[in-house]
Structure 1
Amino acid sequence: MIQRPQPGDRFRIRIVRRWYAVSWVLLGVCPPVISELNHGGATRYWSLALLALIALGYATVAAFPRNRVLRPHAYLGVLALALGALSLLRGDGAALFIVSLPQFWLFARSPRHSIAYSGAAAAATVAGIVRHQSWHVEDFSTGNIVFTLIGYTAGVLLGLGVVRIVEQSDERARHLAAELASAQQRLAEAHRLQGATEERERLAREIHDTLAQGFASIIVLAEAARSGLDTDPGRSARQLLSIENTARENFAEARVLVGSAPRSGPALGSIAGTLRRTLERFAEDTGLAVTADLPDVECDQPTRIALLRCTQESLANVRKHAAASTVEIVLTPSPYGVELEITDDGRGFVVEHAHGFGLNGMRNRLAELGGELTVTSSLGDGTRILAAIPTNSQV
């Protein structure tokens, strides 16, 4: 997989290339131009024409790397020939060759092409120097030849080193990209599993607060109705009716849970009215004395459902465990939110030893709304449940 340069990398590459272009013009092109202008001679115009050709070709390739007329590899061929021709005309092409070496690595297709083009340019430069000095035996010197060969060798070694560094960087980038993709996949899987776990917990809580409580109520009512068929048939008939109503409610809740019915919820309308109906059903089913102070409180649907579920769970606990004779429920609005207090005079329990699903479910449900559940109880002193939900859950 080829790693494309990032925007920041492309910017840095442009800056480096611009600095090189300025350096190449100042150190590579300008000195021979100034030399030719100062000394003149028959070769001056040919040398200036070759330098202009090289400069024009470099500017074209650098500005338009996809130019169809002068492609980068064609320019490198022209550059190699021009360096050889300048060496033939001037006899001192080592400096321009060395300064031009980076171009063979910038514009070639691969390191192999870079080595081949720069080698051809080195050979042409050396050949031009040798031929020129063979015409001027009195000026013969091996310095330019040596510097050309040293420059070519150093350029190849340096170019290969840079290519190796880039390849290693690309390999690390590919490795990091693969690790990132793997981490993203694991994170997505963890989120999926977390979502599934949260959904199971939500369904378990809803089933406990609705279906399970309804079935428990049906069992208690059925036992009571069966025992009173001979002694109090009228009461048994009312209990059977309550069983029917509870079963219908459970059926409606089951349809909501499986998604075959809209989530209209059981707490539409006034929360006070909904709680009154729940308490009336509880008093009718259990025969306990129930007192209620339920003013009209405006709150949103999640808050109404949370208050109703807390009431249903508390009343179910009173029926199953408290052995109470009276239950009191108070709904209180405040500037900070709404509070629901449920108190019974039953046998009580040790709060620290209570780890039932019902209390934890109430705490979690209230916590989702930023609320809090406070349970106060002790053996023989009854139980007090206080559910508080802050104002930001209200309308």
Structure 2
Amino acid sequence: MTRDARAGERPSLGTRGSAVVEEAETAHRSRLAWKEEQLRVWDLLQLTTPWLLLTVSTAIYFSWVLPHSGARFWPEAAPVLGLVVVAVLWVSLGHTLPLTRRTLRPVPAGVFFVGLLALCVALMTYSDIFLVFTVAGFFHAYLLRPWPLGVLAVLATSVALNGSAMSVWTRPTPDVLAEFTLIVAVQTAAIGVGILLTARSEPEERRREALVERLEAALHENAGLHAQLVAQARESGAQDERQRLAGEIHDTLAQGLAGIITQLQAAQRSAHVRGETDEHVTRALRLARSSLTEARRSVQALAPRELGRAHLPDALRTLTERWSEDEGVRAQVEVTGSREPLSPVIEVSLFRVAQEALTNVAKHAKASRVGVTLSYTGCEVLLDVRDDGRGFAEGAGTGFGLTSMRQRIRGVGGQVEVQSAPGEGTSVSARVPAIALGGTAEKKGKADR
């Protein structure tokens, strides 16, 4: 099989793998969204029900029941208002704050329920309209653990609610007692079954949560492995071309630069004999030597010489400082996140982007300040080069340099975004996957866990 045929097969394998991962992630997100919506509605109902029932019953009592009874606010309604204030404080401290802070514990929850039921009974002695508030006991029963306590709370709430509504305590006739017993039994059984099923399904729900977390971690790991395989495939496909270029550079460019240096050295010696100082010859000699060093570096690894002595952050700082001295423009380098050695192909690509962006600033921007930011985010590495120069209109940034920059970053699975406007400077942003040194992907799941 030829090299071109092998290169043609790699993208199709990557596409199928990416489609499988994307489909699995979409299904996973759909299940999580459905489950989160259910939990959100139930949590909201648990949180707001006592307040809603207390507000409705209090409003009806003071706006309708009390005026129609002909009683005056003092002294008949003053105790009711006091009990309502106590109920507000009790619900706030024993129910709302623990739920919002997720600090509700079994013993405090049981104490709150006893106090809540006592307040409901006290309020119902003044008016039956507070039967509405007593219904909150059924909702709080779902929060009690273990589940028999929840069923017992439902029974107590049902006895208090129906006992007051049917006047069992004032006229306990046999018919009333029979009806009361039947209603309490049915009500307790109906709501208690829900509490029992909820308690029985909780361990299964926890196992499902653990399975979902493991699946999510596996999906993140697969995504990292996929990015690693794509980068390795591209690097492997380019290896033969690198070897060919290395041979041509060695046989042509390197030999030619060596000859240039020899000739310039002879010219420098001649100028010294005549007592003349040729600044241009000296500068050309320095540039030629630098080019020869770069050519030899290309033969060895096709990587910038700055990266041969340091990792990407230090190489970028060296590049920017040297550029700032040559161009007379203030430049600042900032590195954020946890620094990790990256794959050489990733570091070279980002370095070349910064190099090209700074070159464009020197040629076109007429800027007074330049900022270079390198950000390690765990699963990705971001490079941003921005200036305060004259910028350019939309659609104007289509030169060879920007096109080459985009192709280079796209070749390692990343993307480049250029933002600019006349008079507002330019920002060049590159985003690439964090493929670590040695071919292992920087795992996002590791940072999450």
TM-score when normalising by structure 1: 0.41
Task: Work out which of the two has the higher radius of gyration on C-alpha atoms and give 1 or 2.
Answer: 1
